[in-house]
């Protein structure tokens, strides 16, 4: 006989599945980004990303303004790659 799943177990299973899908999506995005630009591993890509994050403003509103300005200043081709990917990070 199978044991009936309780409410917290079902909730945890849903959360695990949601996190797994999000990790898979981010991994695919990193692979796509590194493939199109140059031969960079996800670990190597993460180092400059973490350095850039460290220097962004802590205030959420200001951070959005800074990132929006950075995207706006990109060349049209790069801006299209950033905006059209339906990036979950943006």
At residue 34, does pLDDT exceed 50? Answer: no
Residues 7 and 44 in one domain: yes
What is the band of 82 on the pLDDT scale with cuts at 50, 70, 90? confident
What is the band of 90 on the pLDDT scale with cuts at 50, 70, 90? very low
Per-residue confidence (pLDDT) for residue 85, from 0 to 100: 57
Q: How many domains is the chain partitioned into structurally?
A: 2
pTM value is 0.43
Average pLDDT, the chain: 78
Per-residue confidence (pLDDT) for residue 1, from 0 to 100: 55
Residues 25 and 48 in one domain: yes
Residue ranges making up the domain that contains 64: 56-85
Residues 50 and 72 in one domain: no
The C-alpha angle 87, 15, 8, rounded to 5 degrees, equals: 165
């Amino acid at each position: 006989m199978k044991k009936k799943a309780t409410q917290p177990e079902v909730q945890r299973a849903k959360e695990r599945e949601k996190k797994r899908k999000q990790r898979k999506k981010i991994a695919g995005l990193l692979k796509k980004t590194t493939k199109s630009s140059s031969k960079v591993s996800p670990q190597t890509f993460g180092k400059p990303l973490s350095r850039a994050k460290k220097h962004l403003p802590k205030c959420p509103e200001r951070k959005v303004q800074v990132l929006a300005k950075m995207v706006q200043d990109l060349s049209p081709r790069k801006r299209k790659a950033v905006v059209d990917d339906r990036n979950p990070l943006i």
